[in-house]
Structure 1
Amino acid sequence: MSDGTGLTRGDKNRNARLARLRALVPRDHALVGIDLADEVQAVVVTDHDSRVLARRRVKARAWQLGSVLQWAARQAYGAGFAGITVACEPTGHRWRVLDQLATDRGIPLVCVQPLLVGRAREGEDYTRDKTDDKDAVLIARLAAELRCYEPERSDETWARLRHLGARRARLVAEATACIQQLGDLLECVWPAVLAAAAQPMRSATWRACLGVVLQRCNGDPARLRRLGRDRFIAAVRRELPRWGGTVRIYSPIADRVFTALTDHTGVAVQRPGALERAHLVLEDYRAVRLRLADTEHRMIDVLDTLDLTGLVTSIPGLSPIGAATILAETGDLRRFHSPRALVKHAGLAPRERSSGSYSGQTRLSGRGRPRLRLAAWRAIWGALRANPVYAARLRHLTTRPDNPLTPGQARAALAAALLRQLHVIVTRRVRWDAALAAPPAADSPRAAA
């Protein structure tokens, strides 16, 4: 039943968020804006009208700012305030250090988005001047206007998952760079070997063959023809376990690599050096794969510690590492008051464009965490092959007569749906239900509601 106020759900959520922020930034507190840097920190104490009460530039590391917080508190007490609230940008690791110092002293801390500080810098005097002292004032002003947020404060387990997720993202980038570099080198000096498999780097047999050739050829693959096919296959079979395979190789690929040994297509003068470099890159790739596998194993261990592995993998097609990668970017999902808040955090929420009778095209906001958006996107690609509910939803979104979506738009919508469902699964500790996840039929009570 309506309460007669006409407030929307968005109004109520926004009011609740502002109430939480007001508890952190009460009107009887002065604002301490700190522009964090490596060695020199700009600190300013202001009231809620951005009037500067005190200012300091301190040559100190982040861990040495405890005395600065005490100085700011004395300045606030002297101006008649009951306490202070610290505001800063989430700069690298330094804001976490400052948060620990503030927490130890019972001082609330809020963060201000650097994007808002940049826009406020232009709106201040219509210039793009940037100094640490000005930015400190702008940070304090934005916090006083409640244009800030309460930072995530995770426990040790969730923090460990965060760090492992960041390491995995770096290792995936390194592995991808090795694959691209190896492909470029071979395409230049020995393109025939790339044609030996449809997807070379996904084939353990092909990788083992290449490892044998590059290790022994000394810049000339034709040298290995002297071994003969049987001895070459035996060498590949011994190499195969180093690349995650078994002693059983895929003979057609090995035969095609053996045939390509005498193919001299490519830039001859570059071949010796390029193949030596390709061997080094291949070994780098193998080392990265081992580190990546170890990191992924550790991430799954964290999921087990949180008792989430069985719950998140109840979604057909979602692997444990896919779920762990998403949760490493979100942190504890209980900090999001609704599934939609999580979707907005990922930048997958639709951005409405309407004014009066005009209604523009709806697009994704694109804000939020890019790596979370990427993790959800990759997870959907894998889940579509094994999840009939998602596959049916994709067909519906791309073939419906009214406003059909492109395949890319439909997958983005499914990525948002995956995040919403993960929020419910993790926060309520329930397993995925295909009946609830499926879109309602046109004549069902859910569709009519």
Structure 2
Amino acid sequence: MNCTQNRKIEQVTDQTLVIGMDIAKQKHFVAMVDARGRELKKRVPVLQSRAGFEQFYALIQEAMREFDKTEVIVGIEPTGHYWLNLAHFLEEKGIPLVMVNPMHVKRSKELDDNLPTKHDAKDALVIARLVKDGRFSYPRILHEVEAELRAGTTFRESLIKERNAVLNQMIRWLDQYFPEFVQVFPSFGKLALAVLEHTPFPMDMADQTIEGLMERYRQSEGLKCPQKPKIQKLIEVSRDSIGITEGQRMARTQIATLVRRYRQLEQEIAALTEELVALAQTTVEYEWLQTIPGLGDATMVELLSEIGSFQQYQDPRQLIK
């Protein structure tokens, strides 16, 4: 057993009320034990609401008086994002919160009754006993810039995921109606999007001149100088296209919608990234990361959103872990 484990065990004394909570979306279960793991009170539910949290706090105060405890520690098995509201509430009340490993909960439960079945009230007791043995870790509750960076980065990832989904739909559409398109445009730049906006089908280019198409594409947002060689090649491949010619009315509506959504997502991602970079630049850690060659702004934002302030780490190995 290492010294860190010893320090955790030493936090639980005879004067400590140990509480285990099984977290759920609407109703949590609470178990209370002493330093030896003996259950002190009947397990009770706690609602995920302000009233439920206040009742839980009152229950803690009552139990501390009843069993003559001067300290309290609450342990949870993190479930999704449902524990975050409780974590902030307990922080406001000055009650320490720790986390146990879900795998430890599963294995400890099977040791007790040899049943792998899921039961919230039973899990709460297992969690409490793991905490009194020092088998827990400390969660990092985010504040101010750290909280903004984490929320913004998570949202940015969801936008990127949505953009990639739209991109895949556009590729699938082209596979059906204009397979030769990718021979000219392997990626979706401004000109490729302009083509899909104005002339998405091979038949749209029939009897069209290069100059006429260039003029149409210039009407697209952000495109001033369309590349003439690419347009020439696109006209050539469109003549022998094997694209589907049926159902084009709805297909035209579909690709127009996809192009609009793709552009919108690109703009939203760019604007959000700019805002996140501005937030990151207010931290001293950003200045330090700038000294590392090859790190771009987006990468530094993601790093800071995950690791937070360097001041909370005592050893480089903590960052690696």
Q: Specify if TM > 0.5.
A: yes
Check conservation: 1:42, 1:133, Cα contact below 8 A.
yes
d(CA) in 1 for partners of 2:9, 2:29:
25
Q: Determine whether 1:185 maps to 2:173.
A: yes
Alignment match, 2:103:
115
Structure 1 unaligned segments of length 5 or more: list them: 1-10, 215-219, 345-449
The two structures have a TM-score, normalised by structure 2, of 0.89
- Write the deviation string for residues 201-220 of structure 1: whole angstroms up to 9, x where unpaired: 2x322222222224xxxxx4
- Relative to structure 1, is the Cα distance of residues 233 and 34 closer, same or farther in structure 2, using a 3 angstrom cutoff? same
- Relative to structure 1, is the Cα distance of residues 81 and 271 closer, same or farther in structure 2, using a 3 angstrom cutoff? same
- Write the deviation string for residues 297-342 of structure 1: whole angstroms up to 9, x where unpaired: 1110111111444432322221111111122122223333322222
- Relative to structure 1, is the Cα distance of residues 212 and 101 closer, same or farther in structure 2, using a 3 angstrom cutoff? same
Secondary structure of 2:242's partner?
Answer: coil
- Relative to structure 1, is the Cα distance of residues 181 and 129 closer, same or farther in structure 2, using a 3 angstrom cutoff? same
- Relative to structure 1, is the Cα distance of residues 238 and 70 closer, same or farther in structure 2, using a 3 angstrom cutoff? same
What code does the residue aligned with 2:296 have?
S
The one of 237, 255, 267 aligned to 1:278: 255
Alignment match, 1:378:
none
Q: Determine whether 1:53 maps to 2:46.
A: no
Shift of 1:110: 1.0
Matches within 5 A, 1:140-219: 140-197=128-185, 199-201=186-188, 203-214=189-200
Deviates more, 1:28-37 or 1:95-104: 95-104
d(CA) in 1 for partners of 2:220, 2:284:
38
Quick one: percent identity of the two aligned structures? 23
d(CA) in 1 for partners of 2:231, 2:62:
76
Alignment match, 1:88:
76
- Relative to structure 1, is the Cα distance of residues 122 and 286 closer, same or farther in structure 2, using a 3 angstrom cutoff? farther
Matches within 5 A, 1:208-357: 208-214=194-200, 220-241=201-222, 246-269=223-246, 271-344=248-321
Deviates more, 1:252-261 or 1:133-142: 252-261
Structure 2 unaligned segments of length 5 or more: list them: none
Check conservation: 1:209, 1:257, Cα contact below 8 A.
no
What code does the residue aligned with 1:162 have?
R
d(CA) in 2 for partners of 1:272, 1:264:
18
Q: Determine whether 1:124 maps to 2:105.
A: no
- Relative to structure 1, is the Cα distance of residues 81 and 176 closer, same or farther in structure 2, using a 3 angstrom cutoff? same
Shift of 1:222: 1.3
Secondary structure of 1:110's partner?
Answer: strand
What code does the residue aligned with 1:160 have?
E
- Relative to structure 1, is the Cα distance of residues 270 and 144 closer, same or farther in structure 2, using a 3 angstrom cutoff? farther
Where does structure 1 differ by over 6 angstroms across 4 or more consecutive aligned residues?
none
Secondary structure of 2:198's partner?
Answer: helix
- Relative to structure 1, is the Cα distance of residues 267 and 209 closer, same or farther in structure 2, using a 3 angstrom cutoff? closer
The one of 72, 77, 81 aligned to 2:60: 72
d(CA) in 2 for partners of 1:138, 1:28:
20
Shift of 1:182: 1.2
- Relative to structure 1, is the Cα distance of residues 317 and 253 closer, same or farther in structure 2, using a 3 angstrom cutoff? farther
d(CA) in 2 for partners of 1:341, 1:307:
19
Alignment match, 1:380:
none
Secondary structure of 1:86's partner?
Answer: strand
- Write the deviation string for residues 352-404 of structure 1: whole angstroms up to 9, x where unpaired: xxxxxxxxxxxxxxxxxxxxxxxxxxxxxxxxxxxxxxxxxxxxxxxxxxxxx
Higher RCO, 1 or 2 (CA under 8 Å, sep at least 6)? 2
Shift of 1:59: 5.5
The two structures have a TM-score, normalised by structure 1, of 0.65
